[in-house]
Amino acid sequence: MSPAAQDRAAARLDWTRHVLDDATLALELASADASFRSYWRTTHGGQSWIVMDSPPEHEDPRPWLAIGARLAAAGLHVPAVRAQDLQWGFLLIEDLGSRLYLDELNDTSADQLYGDAMDALLTMQTRVASDDLPPFDHAVLVSGLEVMPEWFLQRHLGHAPDCGEWDVLEAAFGVIVRNALAQPRRFVHRDFHSRNLLVVDENNPGIIDFQGALHGPITYDLASLLRDAYIAWPRARVDGWVESYRRRLLGAGVIDASVDAARFLRWFDLTGLHRHVRVLGQFYRLWYRDGKPGYLKDVPQVYRYVIEVAGRYPELAEFAALLERHAAGRDLTQVAA
């Protein structure tokens, strides 16, 4: 551990002992994510707490606090905050436990757990203001897609697209971006999936990692949830959940009858495709740039989503063929030299 890391670890422990008035408590790592943020668990007076450590020079904790307050005001279950030190970037928050959706989802539990999650999502989209949040606009949509050619095709596969292939990529990206921009816009969590939802006894699910929220397309979080990079379901089952959510939106007046099942499914498919094209590049960037290999094992599922969904739409057939041509025979979980 570097001296700076040792200093921060000592400061984190000292702060926690001070706010809980307990000089004997210890901290153990609960989890870390793809950013500089980390989470530490402690127990005091028979109650478990989480210390969220967000080094301010890298991860300003104020967006987390602001978005969390909005979600809590809407009745959603986000971690309650007991203490905070914004100068250091330390927050003492409610421990929602360790029962991630990822570990609890199975053929029997999925309908109930996804039903709860879609209820929470509808609340976010109907009761949480988002007009003042950063827009999930054309620039953000395009920059997300551009991560894939740079880090998957060029850095990982070692292939520099020629002019014709760039035409294919740009045409596909245009289809995907126009699809996103055609949708009604609401609150977008941006990472509403099985590693950021927890099974809790009251007001399920517990929701975390919401600090990057945007104002964007209504199917983005639904695609994050049901086309999860970490767990996959048969297409027919996913399509059924998607239709059930369309009906929720229809009943809530977010969409009208002109958005039929086929139109909504296209919105969902291509919005999910945007997410997975971005993630396909992002997971490799986390390794090659940031030295974080933990996401490589999830690349094959993300790649399958991209190929399968693109393959359903004739205007994206050349795009799918381009990726398949250059990924053929490669173990996507193995890093390049």
From first to last of its 337 residues, the chain has per-residue pLDDT tens of: 455 667 899 999 999 999 999 999 999 999 866 578 899 999 998 999 999 999 999 989 999 999 999 999 999 999 999 999 999 999 999 999 999 999 999 999 999 999 999 999 999 999 999 999 999 999 999 999 999 999 999 999 999 999 999 999 999 999 999 999 999 999 999 999 999 999 999 999 999 999 999 999 999 999 999 999 999 999 999 999 999 999 999 999 999 999 999 999 999 999 999 999 999 999 999 999 999 898 999 999 999 999 999 999 999 999 999 999 999 999 999 987 6
In-domain check, residue 221: yes
At 6 the pLDDT is: 73
At 212 the pLDDT is: 94
Domain ranges, residue 55: 3-94
Considering the domain architecture, whether residues 110 and 236 belong to the same structural domain is answered as yes
Considering the domain architecture, whether residues 169 and 24 belong to the same structural domain is answered as no
Please provide the size of the chain in residues.
Answer: 337
Report the C-alpha gap between 4 and 58 in whole angstroms. Answer: 14
Helix (H) or strand (E) holding 272: helix 261-288
At 36 the pLDDT is: 84
In-domain check, residue 296: yes
In-domain check, residue 333: no
Considering the domain architecture, whether residues 72 and 146 belong to the same structural domain is answered as no
Cβ within 8 Å of residue 243, ≥6 positions away: 261, 264, 265
At 161 the pLDDT is: 97
The pTM of this model reads 0.94
**Burial tier of 334 (Cβ tally within 10 Å: 0-12, 13-18, 19+):** exposed
Report the C-alpha gap between 24 and 312 in whole angstroms. Answer: 59
Considering the domain architecture, whether residues 28 and 82 belong to the same structural domain is answered as yes
Burial 140-178 (b: 16+ CB within 10 A, else e): ebeebbbbbbebbbebbbebeeeeebeebbeebbeebbe
User: Measuring CA to CA, which residue among 54, 9, 63 is closest to residue 36?
Assistant: 54
Considering the domain architecture, whether residues 16 and 149 belong to the same structural domain is answered as no
In-domain check, residue 337: no
User: Measuring CA to CA, which residue among 235, 121, 217, 229 is closest to residue 178?
Assistant: 217
Considering the domain architecture, whether residues 307 and 185 belong to the same structural domain is answered as yes
